[in-house]
Structure 1
Amino acid sequence: MRPCYAKFLPHDFLECHTNDAINVLKSMKTAFKWLEEPFPRVWELSFYSVLLHDLGKCASGFQRNPREWGYRHEVLSAPFASFLDLPEDERNLIALAILTHHRTLDELEEILPSGEHRGGFEDKVEELFQNRDYIEGIFFERVPYWELYFFGRRLELFNPPKDWSERVRGYDFDALISWYERNVERYREELVYLRGLLNASDHLASAGELEVRLLPDIRTAVELRIPEERWRPLQRAAWNTEGNLLLRAPTGYGKTEASLLWADRNAQRTRKGLSSRIFYVLPYKASINAMHSRLLGLFKDPALVGVLHSSSGFYLYSSELEYRRLSSLYRKIYTPLKVTTPFQLMKPFFGVGFFEMGLTELTGSLLIFDEIHAYEPNVLGIILAILELLKGRRTKAMVMTATLPEFLERLIEETIKPRKLQAPPEEADRFTRHRINVVDGSMESIEELIEELKPEDGPALVACNTVSRAVEVYSRLRDDYSAMLLHSRFTYGDREEKEKKLLSNLNDFDVVVATQVVEVSIDVSFSTIITEPAPLDALIQRFGRVNRRGFGNPRNVYVLTEGGEGDKRIYPPEVVRRSLGLLKELDGKPLPESKVPELVTLAYEPLADRLRGEVLEYKAQALELFEALMPLRSGENERRFYEMFRGLEAIPGAYQDAVLELLTRKRYMEVHRYLVPIPLWLFMSESDAFHRLSSTGPGKHIIVAELEYNQELGLLREPSGGEVL
């Protein structure tokens, strides 16, 4: 009797891989009890989906060489579902999950045996029958024992007849697809869960993992850092809140710990730990990386705390973690706590990738949104649509902020009906750290202002609204001061080096010139800030880089009244003007933390109705789009997602030879060090300067920017070899 393998290099027997996948499914059955509420038969039908999903791999052609075989093993596996003593609808659900566990129905359309076009399929069934001894003597014989292991009893529902090969050969795929088209709306959720759980079980088993991970008691971990007697009132209130929560508290209050305590209260538990999947959602990669590092310090094990964003593989690589293994696992139903962008949450709703697995993981999850005010109306609308849909999936959400306009707070309230917690004025004002100074003028007079301030206990931060203005200001200051320039248009490698240098040698600098990246980036405290005008919530984020822990001892911060021409591309002028007017009323006075929510609301008042309307319009569009998503199929939504949200990145022309060398040596992760984020407006306005890398291999999609680049100033708008203005 010849063995049958499910995997090659290294070889893995089919029965071993099936056993591993059943182990994963059993761990999910123990952990995710809530899935039984919308789908009472979820574990029974999932078990048989996992049991039979790879049986088609026993075809002799697959066993000889799966890469050259030229057929889909799942097409041969699906007919075995007809041998289950179950109602026809349930057999069809299982067959469809098996049939689509690698490819969607539309991707399989051309090869599905249909009508008279069954010759190739019948030949493959004959190949399957060539390994009949293994299938009957090894695989079929193990089924009762797998049932006993999974259910605690033998169900004896799988009963293939003696002429099973003839029955497989005659399986009616047309009838199966016709059933799907008639019943997909009725069984939408069941199809999502069955494919999602099968994909999760198969992928984890293939990765060598036999169970999903559970989080240890969160409260215990938090208490190791902050003993219960030192909990602040809102932290204690968050821990006592069941259900959705909206938390307002000043920067530095301890909102992260409050959110973890809320998650501890609302998480589902098993004897081995907390089984709820928790997503900590932040808007920026830099703040996500920092939060991942912080939570990893709390829970220690990188298998418990995941990180997901478009560059997370490079972050893990730079952090000297097992980036290949962890990057893969973090995209599966494996890690109980993930720090991520909202775009990763959006993917399943747009039908991106194995979206049924993502929707299954989000069912019953806990979502923590930090800094939700930072998103554009289109992203906010999509987030609200997701929260609306997830209400029916037992998902709970917590939104926390220091600077949330009232119109946005009302939108959140209307969507999730949260309990509201807010620091009392007297408690909030204990966190007052800044004294407002409004200075007439622009960055043209920055030298005189710095000379007048003479910061002595650390460098001053000069915050500019655009990269071009930051480069211009830095170029004027660098001859007279020890200065550093920090903005988004450095390569990832150069920016990482700059941030490390600043963290380790902060007091070596007199001044740091930066754009908005400093609002969410490194955790350093400057002596003061001189900033161009911006919306009040953005200014408060910038002020947060001054006197970060000096509560009760306000430091001077300086806001200029004039910005640059390019500011209109970034910020609404009405909000900027209103913000300046509000700050002038506080000129020379501390900014009370208790007044921040009211002031931010007033700043956005001129645009509140328009922004609310935009958010609601995007929410309605997203709901319509999401409700049209069909399980087991791919569609236009995935393309639209990438058109809307895929960020542009390019390598400076000066580095293309170095990148080609890395690609030749297969050091693909190192290529990321040479990438620079490119705003769409720059790509469009300087389109002649961009081209594809001259590579036919893995680098063929890399964009090259033939623009001037140097490690001191970053990527400029000058053509390569041009003079820096």
Structure 2
Amino acid sequence: MPSVILAKSSNEENTRPLTLAEHNNDLLDIKRYLLEAFPQVQRISTLPEFWEILHTAIIFHDLGKAHAEFQKVLLRYKNHKWCGQRHELFSLPFVAGLSLHPDQQELIEKLVAGHHKPYHKLLHHCEELYDEGDFATQFQAVDTAAVLDLIKEYGYELQTFKVKPPNQLFLHYKKQMHERRVPLVQPLLMLTGALKHCDHLASAFIRKKDLQLLDSSNFKFLDQKLSSPYQHQIDAEQTLGSTILTAPTGSGKTETALLWTRKQMQEQGRGMVFYILPFTASINAMWKRLGNPENGLNEKVGMLHGNLDAVLYRELFEEFGGDTQKIKDKIPAIKKQFREMMTPLRIVTPFQLIKHIFGLKGYEKGIFEWTGAYFIFDEIHAYDPGVLAQIMVLLQYTIDKCGVRAFVMTATLPSFLKDLIAKTLGSHSLLKASTELYQKFKRHRIQVLGGEITEALDLVRADLVIGKKVLVVCNTVQRAQEIYQVLSSDSTNSILLHSAFNGEDRASKEAKLKNESLPDLLVGTQAIEVSLDIDYDVIYTELAPLDALLQRFGRVNRATKKAPCPCFVFEQRNDKDRYIYPVEICERTLISLREMENEHDGIVDELTLQAKIDFVYPRFSEKEQQEFDQVVDSLTYSIEHVLVPFNEDKKSEQDFYDQFDGVKVLPIELKAEYYERIKKFNFIHADMLKVSIRKNEFQRWRKDGTLQPERLHLEKNAKDSMDVPVWLLQKPYDQELGLLKYLELSMLDLNDNQL
């Protein structure tokens, strides 16, 4: 009588070994979820047998585990002779025995072979382990009777099976890749992603009942929230297909996007929803907003970005009463929930999507998730030409190959960029807020002042004296720190906010800005331009490009409940601004500001802002255009040559990571506290003490000795120890001011004359 084939060893999750039949059934359970959650896959893949092929691949994917020596490994026998072989290779002879159409048979063979490792690694494995005839000899240790008995339970009967050297498959695929003729490459990518999802979720003991479904009924809360919708919101709910929306800040663009999403789902069916934002602060705020239990989404909403650990730590700290062990235990479960398909609406940075077209680990799963998905792009104006180029390539690929529909929304976007997006979307609709709505949004009165902002601090003081809530925005961290030092004594409640705080201090400051009672004085940098839902009475700001200024103005009279509020812009720039914003853009912005100042008594007419934006940004500069074209060409080439299943390209992976500029370092004053947290193995809490610096700063300070590497030694117990590497920065850090890159400790107290 054939023996039972084991698939998994016993562990904390399962107290006994898991049989292959049980494992296969778990995968089939996930497959049933995929059928419900991704109803458009069969049509988009152009493969009528998509689900049948996936079903067969599931049944056959782990049959090679019936090898006697692998069974000993699962039973934890010490005298096994498995020698690191790959079980999936011993599944292939059974696939070869199927009587299917050659195209289907080839797809299943490739899926089974590649459901764990890239092909080039499997080829190297075969060349190292098997000489001619060795694989066939090893295959004799497979319990074929047990395999045939198992697959018969699923309706498969093999008359024979063929044992061929598996390296033939990998060499053949290598040739197909080289000649760029991998057959059915897009359906194969989708099938690979689907199989890996099934295998990974089942292996993590996630079941269909644990996975969320998102459909149009989950957006019912919008009907109550929008009892009197704007016209562009009504239009969005009647629009099918990709769409571009232009509407002023504060006109309910997020709700408009969700109304559009509901309409798509009603007509097209379910699909993953990706809400794409440029900044982690924006993502955190949107996650809280959409995940509010009062909405119908709640646990269906997840988020992904590079600082997720720290955000979750802060969120859980109060819930668990500061119990760090409970927090550390909970975070991995939440992250798994966000990364897997347990949250069908994800709020992400574009890089969480772009990484898949660079072929980073897990890209096949990502591409499957895009099939029939809905992309919502918010704040699309915020990207530089290089990132925008990647987004355009992403959109082109996902619309053409994955059936994605996209909703792109903006308050201020140059016409040449809008045309570029429209061309990328292909067939699409244009929506715009009504003229009547624009005319209601009279929130800001512009006044351009001569000189630098540092010469007008008495104006700020005067506003503080009469009880106004004052916002001051600078273009550099150093200037913000200097002004804050001078003005903070004039306010009983003031905050400085910029990018040179560590994660812990910045989060603390942002939390204070969420209180009903705002600080009287907020001084900051570009960090203020995004996500903060604050409403000040007046703003004093250094000159910046018009779109950046409009974002800053949006933090004043945000709710439009006051008469137009003053927005003071200083025409003279400090020297370091020139490294941040192009001179010609700022010069054109100043011309536009002067025009607005002389029109309508300085009150900003948001209906005419498009013409002002187009004047400031008529086109890319020559340098920007070259960067944009270069990125589009190189990434398109990479998609055509690298983005195939079962591949791994280290150069493409390095290209992706090279574009990120931040390096985390630890200010020397925080070393003692960092070490205390590390000693408790609270790595996330410790990491929140680090400050991010640019790569050029890292290289410069490392060279001159300002930055020093150190290893902190930890002992878990008498037998187990570890070293934790950290870069220590010999620069002053102040909880109120942040990292003082340019000032010495002796210069912390400035007055107006020194400034």
Same fold, TM-score > 0.5, yes or no: yes
Distance 1:650 1:8, change over 3 A: farther
Q: Equivalences for 1:587-606 in 2 at 5 Å?
A: 587=597, 588-605=601-618
Q: Equivalences for 1:121-520 in 2 at 5 Å?
A: 121=135, 125=139, 128-129=142-143, 135=147, 139-144=150-155, 156=156, 158-159=157-158, 161=160, 167=162, 170-184=163-177, 185-211=182-208, 212-216=211-215, 217-227=217-227, 230-267=228-265, 275-297=270-292, 299=295, 302-320=298-316, 322-392=330-400, 393-417=402-426, 418-454=428-464, 456-482=466-492, 483-504=494-515, 506-507=517-518, 509-520=519-530
Distance 2:77 2:535 in 1: 58
Question: What is the CA RMSD across the aligned residues, in angstroms?
Answer: 2.8
Per-residue CA shift, 1:429-470, capped at 9, x if unaligned?
211211111111213224212133346455211101111111
Q: Equivalences for 1:5-154 in 2 at 5 Å?
A: 5-9=7-11, 10-11=13-14, 12-37=18-43, 38-58=46-66, 59-65=70-76, 70-112=84-126, 117=131, 121=135, 125=139, 128-129=142-143, 135=147, 139-144=150-155
- Larger mean CA deviation between 18-27 and 579-588 belongs to 579-588
User: Which residue matches 1:670?
Assistant: 685
Task: State the one-letter code of the partner of 2:398.
Answer: L
> Is the 8 Å Cα contact of residues 5 and 65 (structure 2) preserved in structure 1?
no
> Is the 8 Å Cα contact of residues 463 and 470 (structure 2) preserved in structure 1?
no
Q: Equivalences for 1:588-667 in 2 at 5 Å?
A: 588-605=601-618, 607=620, 611-612=624-625, 614-629=627-642, 630-635=644-649, 636-645=651-660, 647-667=662-682
Query: Per the alignment, in what secondary structure is the counterpart of residue 497 of structure 1?
Result: helix
Per-residue CA shift, 1:222-266, capped at 9, x if unaligned?
113223xx1100001111111111100000000001101111111
Distance 1:51 1:203, change over 3 A: same
Task: State the one-letter code of the partner of 1:286.
Answer: A
Distance 2:408 2:119 in 1: 38
Task: State the one-letter code of the partner of 1:653.
Answer: I
| Structure 1: stretches of 5+ with no match in the other structure | 145-155
Distance 1:553 1:79, change over 3 A: farther
Query: Per the alignment, in what secondary structure is the counterpart of residue 306 of structure 2?
Result: coil
Query: Per the alignment, in what secondary structure is the counterpart of residue 478 of structure 1?
Result: helix
Q: Taking structure 1 as the reference length, what is the TM-score of the superposition? A: 0.89
Distance 1:93 1:36 in 2: 15
Task: State the one-letter code of the partner of 1:667.
Answer: N
Distance 1:179 1:675 in 2: 49
User: Which residue matches 1:153?
Assistant: none
> Is the 8 Å Cα contact of residues 706 and 719 (structure 1) preserved in structure 2?
no
Query: Per the alignment, in what secondary structure is the counterpart of residue 386 of structure 1?
Result: helix
Query: Per the alignment, in what secondary structure is the counterpart of residue 93 of structure 1?
Result: helix
Aligned length, in residue pairs: 698
Query: Per the alignment, in what secondary structure is the counterpart of residue 504 of structure 1?
Result: coil
Distance 1:698 1:302, change over 3 A: farther
User: Which residue matches 1:689?
Assistant: 706
Percent identical among aligned pairs is 31
Distance 1:699 1:91, change over 3 A: farther
Distance 1:645 1:612, change over 3 A: same
Distance 1:76 1:314, change over 3 A: farther
Query: Per the alignment, in what secondary structure is the counterpart of residue 586 of structure 1?
Result: helix
Query: Per the alignment, in what secondary structure is the counterpart of residue 558 of structure 1?
Result: strand
Query: Per the alignment, in what secondary structure is the counterpart of residue 740 of structure 2?
Result: strand
Task: State the one-letter code of the partner of 1:713.
Answer: L
Per-residue CA shift, 1:491-528, capped at 9, x if unaligned?
11111111222322744x33111111111143121121
Q: Taking structure 2 as the reference length, what is the TM-score of the superposition? A: 0.86
Distance 1:647 1:305 in 2: 28
> Is the 8 Å Cα contact of residues 104 and 634 (structure 1) preserved in structure 2?
yes
> Is the 8 Å Cα contact of residues 461 and 487 (structure 2) preserved in structure 1?
no
- Larger mean CA deviation between 315-324 and 605-614 belongs to 605-614
Distance 1:619 1:665 in 2: 47
Distance 1:544 1:305 in 2: 27
| Structure 2: stretches of 5+ with no match in the other structure | 320-329, 714-720, 750-755
Per-residue CA shift, 1:70-116, capped at 9, x if unaligned?
33332333433223222344323222222222221123232126895
> Is the 8 Å Cα contact of residues 432 and 592 (structure 1) preserved in structure 2?
yes
> Is the 8 Å Cα contact of residues 430 and 551 (structure 1) preserved in structure 2?
no
- Larger mean CA deviation between 377-386 and 2-11 belongs to 2-11
Distance 2:29 2:722 in 1: 36
Distance 2:729 2:128 in 1: 50
Task: State the one-letter code of the partner of 1:470.
Answer: A
Shift of 1:474: 1.0
Task: State the one-letter code of the partner of 1:208.
Answer: F
Task: State the one-letter code of the partner of 2:282.
Answer: S
Shift of 1:286: 0.3
Query: Per the alignment, in what secondary structure is the counterpart of residue 339 of structure 2?
Result: coil
